[in-house]
Structure 1
Amino acid sequence: MKYKVWKFNRTLTYRTIYTMSNNFELSDEEKSILQKQKDLVEAGKKKAESFWLEEYPHFTIDEKIKYWLASIHRGMRTQGEATADEYSEFSAAWYQHVKEKEPDFDSLFEKVVPLLGFYFDWKEYEKRIKAT
């Protein structure tokens, strides 16, 4: 039995809409919103892939340090505000991902940490990135 989806706020996430589309009949407008969300996700994936394949490999050491400094600082700040645990950004899966993108990540990270502007707990970091 199919149910009509109630009119919903356009701020629903792609995942919510996708889940709803499996359980309800969507209107043309809702299908259009879903397609736009899918297109945005695909465009984001292509942009990220392009960055890692075409831009990042040409970065100098200083540019790589600046990139990782901004990424780590933003991630820790965001996680700290959202979860009160800034180290929750770090995990074995995260570490594996960054090592795939930057094989020399460990030596770069040693240069990034002093630039973060706050105390960094290396023991906590190492505990988080170990495979469990």
Structure 2
Amino acid sequence: MAKNNSTRDGKAPTQRMLRVGEQFRRILSEVLQRGDVHDDELARMSITVGEVRMTSDLRIATAFVLPLGGQGKEEALAALRRNKHEIRHLVVKGGSMKYAPELRFEIDGTFDQMDATRALLSENHVRQDLDD
């Protein structure tokens, strides 16, 4: 899935969606960093939360995550999904949200996209076009 800042219906996210998503991202990052989740496998992982995207009704939060170094993506995703109910509880408890959105996890492809763009821009024929 391509990562962008639009909702499924193609409209740009509202300020409220962005604000709540960022609040959720910050608290989720803290929960994972502190190791508050009672899962030994997850506790051994260092996971970066790049973005949390909220649906327009704020009922679903999709967290885009990546393990440190990009290794063990599937294992990290499986551990997060296995513990999503506890993580959801901890995030809502740590914030000021009235409603606990459903929590989903996806791999953050931003770094892969940046690497692909860098590789494309370094190709000889592309560099020649850019220099003209």
In the superposition, the TM-score normalised over structure 1's length comes to 0.29
More helix by share: 1
In the superposition, the TM-score normalised over structure 2's length comes to 0.29
More strand by share: 2
Structure showing greater radius of gyration is: 1
